[in-house]
Amino acid sequence: MDRSKRTPVIAGNWKMNKSRTGTKLLIRELAPLVSNARCNVAVCVPFTDLDAAMDAARGSNIIVGAQNCHWADNGAFTGEVSASMLTETGISLCVVGHSERRQYFGETDETVNKRARAVIAAGLTAIVCVGETLEEREAGKLNEVIERQMNVGLKDVTAADCAKLVIAYEPVWAIGTGKTATPDQAQEVHALIRATLAKLVGAETAETVRIQYGGSMKPGNAAELLAKKDIDGGLIGGAALKAADFAGIIAAAAQA
């Protein structure tokens, strides 16, 4: 498939940042800067900011998403939020398995799988994150880690489900560190992700799935990353909190 058939998706991962007021201000500042974007534009905000973000984004091309979701529809899971609760707010996207959730909140490939399937079953798009730590890379375990995260994390995800699937490759050593994977390093892993996905759901479907890069992406390095043939967008942390930087990355996607 021609890669131009995959619309790039640039998503901000705001993490635990921004108040409700700050959310509205940033989205209102961003909206005119990205109104002519030639890619999908999304912001993934804290649960408590979802409705404020939806309000501020109304009438714009900005998609609002969440950052996590439980696999059960309801029940005794204190502190969690279900996919149906998210759909009720009107959002259409949810990040699953971010490395910070794996690192600090006991997320495993198995729980990533349960969450991803619940998100997709609820009709939301899941951005499923994978990526190796520096130790894993230095120990020569890059391929093994990525293949395991893909095979377990996407177990029982069907070819039909892939219409609601985005994968984010985020090398843990590049997140919030200012160290970015080189375009060649990133492309190598994106190609591995697509090949692994092809074994799970077929090559034709794998060609349709967008694979984002995440980890210190900024306006200055976005264009050369996004120019690589298997890099179909970005999941942006720090640079998504500044309208001009986020808009700069979105402008770079238009050149890719």
Q: What angle do CA 191, 144, 222 make, to 5 degrees?
A: 40
DSSP annotation of 217 reads -
Query: Is residue 98 flagged as an active site residue?
Result: yes
Out of 237, 245, 247, 256, the residue judged to bind ligand PGA by CB under 6 A? 237
Q: What three-state secondary structure class fits 168?
A: strand
Q: Which helix (H) or strand (E) holds 224?
A: helix 219-226
Question: Which residue, 71 or 169, is less far from ligand PGA as judged by CB?
Answer: 169
Residue 137 backbone class (left: φ over 0; alpha: ψ -120 to 50; beta: rest): alpha
Binding mask 1-40 toward ligand PGA (x if CB under 6 A, else -) reads ------------x---------------------------
Q: Token pair for residue 182?
A: 């080189």
Of 33-41, 46-54, 60-68, 209-217: span binding ligand PGA (CB under 6 A)? 209-217
| Nearest in space to 180 (alpha carbons), one of 172, 188, 189, 191 | 172
Q: Does 220 bind ligand PGA (CB under 6 A)?
A: no
The span from the CA of 100 to the CA of 131, in Å, is 11
Q: Does 97 bind ligand PGA (CB under 6 A)?
A: no
Of 82-90, 132-140, 169-177, 198-206: span binding ligand PGA (CB under 6 A)? 169-177
List of residues 6+ apart from 232 with CB closer than 8 A? 3, 6, 7, 8, 9, 210, 211, 212
Q: How far is the CB of 72 from ligand PGA (least distance, A)?
A: 25
Question: Which residue, 71 or 173, is less far from ligand PGA as judged by CB?
Answer: 173
Of 1-9, 26-34, 110-118, 233-241: span binding ligand PGA (CB under 6 A)? 233-241
| Nearest in space to 127 (alpha carbons), one of 154, 186, 167, 170 | 167
Please state, in angstroms and as integers, the Cα–Cα distance from residue 79 to each residue in 67, 75, 182, 184, following that order.
14, 11, 38, 40
Q: Which of 100, 107, 132, 170 is catalytic?
A: 170
Q: Does 238 bind ligand PGA (CB under 6 A)?
A: yes
Query: Is residue 170 flagged as an active site residue?
Result: yes
Out of 90, 123, 176, 202, the residue judged to bind ligand PGA by CB under 6 A? 176
Q: Does 235 bind ligand PGA (CB under 6 A)?
A: yes
End-to-end Cα separation, the chain, in angstroms: 16
Out of 131, 153, 215, 233, the residue judged to bind ligand PGA by CB under 6 A? 215
Residues near ligand PGA (CB under 6 A) are 13, 170, 175-176, 214-217, 235-239
Catalytic residues: 98, 170
